[in-house]
Protein backbone atom coordinates (compact mmCIF):
# COMPACT_ATOMS: atom_id res chain seq x y z
CA UNK A 1 0.00 0.00 0.00
CA UNK A 2 1.33 3.41 -1.00
CA UNK A 3 1.51 5.82 1.96
CA UNK A 4 1.25 9.48 0.90
CA UNK A 5 1.19 12.42 3.30
CA UNK A 6 -0.14 15.87 2.48
CA UNK A 7 0.93 19.01 4.34
CA UNK A 8 -2.14 20.77 5.74
CA UNK A 9 -0.23 23.68 7.25
CA UNK A 10 2.01 24.50 10.22
CA UNK A 11 3.94 21.25 9.92
CA UNK A 12 0.82 19.08 10.15
CA UNK A 13 0.30 16.27 7.68
CA UNK A 14 -2.56 13.93 6.89
CA UNK A 15 -2.68 10.66 4.99
CA UNK A 16 -3.80 11.35 1.43
CA UNK A 17 -5.42 7.92 1.24
CA UNK A 18 -7.86 8.82 4.04
CA UNK A 19 -9.13 12.07 2.51
CA UNK A 20 -12.62 11.96 1.01
CA UNK A 21 -13.09 15.69 0.32
CA UNK A 22 -11.55 19.11 0.91
CA UNK A 23 -14.18 21.85 1.07
CA UNK A 24 -14.57 25.48 2.09
CA UNK A 25 -16.19 26.05 5.51
CA UNK A 26 -18.67 28.81 4.60
CA UNK A 27 -21.81 26.82 3.76
CA UNK A 28 -24.41 25.90 6.37
CA UNK A 29 -24.19 22.12 5.73
CA UNK A 30 -20.41 22.17 6.29
CA UNK A 31 -20.87 24.19 9.48
CA UNK A 32 -23.35 21.54 10.68
CA UNK A 33 -20.85 18.78 9.87
CA UNK A 34 -18.19 20.63 11.90
CA UNK A 35 -20.53 21.05 14.89
CA UNK A 36 -21.59 17.39 14.78
CA UNK A 37 -17.95 16.26 14.63
CA UNK A 38 -17.12 18.52 17.59
CA UNK A 39 -19.99 16.99 19.61
CA UNK A 40 -18.85 13.44 18.72
CA UNK A 41 -15.19 14.15 19.50
CA UNK A 42 -14.13 13.62 15.87
CA UNK A 43 -12.94 17.15 15.11
CA UNK A 44 -9.23 17.90 14.68
CA UNK A 45 -8.38 21.61 14.65
CA UNK A 46 -5.05 22.15 12.87
CA UNK A 47 -5.50 25.90 12.37
CA UNK A 48 -3.30 27.04 15.28
CA UNK A 49 -5.89 29.71 16.11
CA UNK A 50 -6.03 31.08 12.60
CA UNK A 51 -9.07 31.35 10.37
CA UNK A 52 -10.39 28.05 9.03
CA UNK A 53 -10.02 28.04 5.26
CA UNK A 54 -10.46 24.35 4.49
CA UNK A 55 -12.42 21.47 5.97
CA UNK A 56 -10.99 18.03 5.28
CA UNK A 57 -13.46 15.16 5.46
CA UNK A 58 -11.85 11.78 6.14
CA UNK A 59 -13.14 8.28 5.48
CA UNK A 60 -13.14 7.60 9.24
CA UNK A 61 -15.76 10.37 9.73
CA UNK A 62 -13.11 12.62 11.26
CA UNK A 63 -13.17 16.28 10.27
CA UNK A 64 -9.90 18.22 10.09
CA UNK A 65 -9.83 22.02 10.03
CA UNK A 66 -6.95 23.69 8.21
CA UNK A 67 -5.81 27.28 7.69
CA UNK A 68 -4.60 26.41 4.17
CA UNK A 69 -6.81 27.11 1.15
CA UNK A 70 -8.42 24.03 -0.48
CA UNK A 71 -6.90 25.05 -3.82
CA UNK A 72 -3.42 25.02 -2.27
CA UNK A 73 -3.93 21.51 -0.95
CA UNK A 74 -5.27 20.36 -4.32
CA UNK A 75 -2.14 21.76 -5.97
CA UNK A 76 0.00 19.84 -3.48
CA UNK A 77 -1.83 16.63 -4.44
CA UNK A 78 -1.43 17.36 -8.13
CA UNK A 79 2.26 18.32 -7.88
CA UNK A 80 3.05 15.19 -5.87
CA UNK A 81 1.25 12.98 -8.42
CA UNK A 82 3.11 14.54 -11.35
CA UNK A 83 6.44 14.07 -9.55
CA UNK A 84 5.64 10.39 -8.90
CA UNK A 85 4.67 9.84 -12.54
CA UNK A 86 7.92 11.41 -13.71
CA UNK A 87 9.90 9.29 -11.23
CA UNK A 88 8.21 6.13 -12.52
CA UNK A 89 8.94 7.10 -16.12
CA UNK A 90 12.60 7.45 -15.17
CA UNK A 91 12.57 3.93 -13.74
CA UNK A 92 11.16 2.49 -16.97
CA UNK A 93 13.82 4.01 -19.19
pTM: 0.84
DSSP label at residue 59: T
Task: Give the model's pLDDT for residue 76.
Answer: 81
Q: What is the mean pLDDT of residues 54-70?
A: 98
Task: Give the model's pLDDT for residue 85.
Answer: 65
Q: How far is residue 88's CA from residue 80's CA, in Å, rounded to a whole number?
A: 12
Q: What is the mean pLDDT of residues 12-22?
A: 94
Q: Which of 72, 87, 66, 83 is nearest to 8 (CA)?
A: 66
Amino acid sequence: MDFKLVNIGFGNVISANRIVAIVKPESAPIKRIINEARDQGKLVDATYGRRTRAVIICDSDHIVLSAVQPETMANRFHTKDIKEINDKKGELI
